[in-house]
Amino acid sequence: MPDLTLLARNNGGRFPYNRVRNTIMGEDMFASHGSREMPVWGPIFHQIEWDVDRGNVRGENLVKYLESIQSVHSAEEQPATKEPTESSVSGERLYKKHCAACHGEDLKGTGPAPYPFREVTPDLTTLAQRHGGDFPDDYVADVLRNGVTLPAHGPAEMPVWGAEFRAQERLDEAQVILRITNLKNYIRSLQAK
């Protein structure tokens, strides 16, 4: 669980008011792993009382409360940014940890995809073949970072790894970019000839 008292510190000393509000109310957010890790409070707040809609007031009050509990740490108390090491972020290691469960150890889509993901996963060794013989670097990096378009009804097709790396492993943007790049390069290295 993220420490909600560190939102301002983790954003250059400024409380990310609009982003927090949008997250709480469920606006402009992408689901990770088919669902969000917390409820979308906007609709819940709007439905609490049948006669009066105070949803926006509740949302604003929650954001203001979170802003009020932000911790202030001196520079010497703040942990140093971890420098990523190649061994901790190798594409092969990331693939085995995060992707093999669904795409299989061989990248051929043979792994049993866990609920709520779709049952058949794509063969990642044929990405270049399916894109005219050229490996689609930008497309793969975008899918790894942002996931795929969520179907209107049904589960997500895969996790949103950019958000996962940032939230669960508390990585900064440079570390997320390094992981996405290494993972993409590993997948590229195993394309079918």
Cα(63)–Cα(67) distance, integer angstroms: 6
pTM: 0.54
pLDDT single digits (tens) 119-135: 678 889 999 999 999 99
Q: Which domains does the chain have, with CATH numbers?
A: 4-68 (no CATH), 86-189 (1.10.760.10)
pLDDT single digits (tens) 60-98: 888 888 888 887 553 444 444 555 554 457 899 999 888
Nearest to 30 by CA among 171, 147, 158, 157: 147
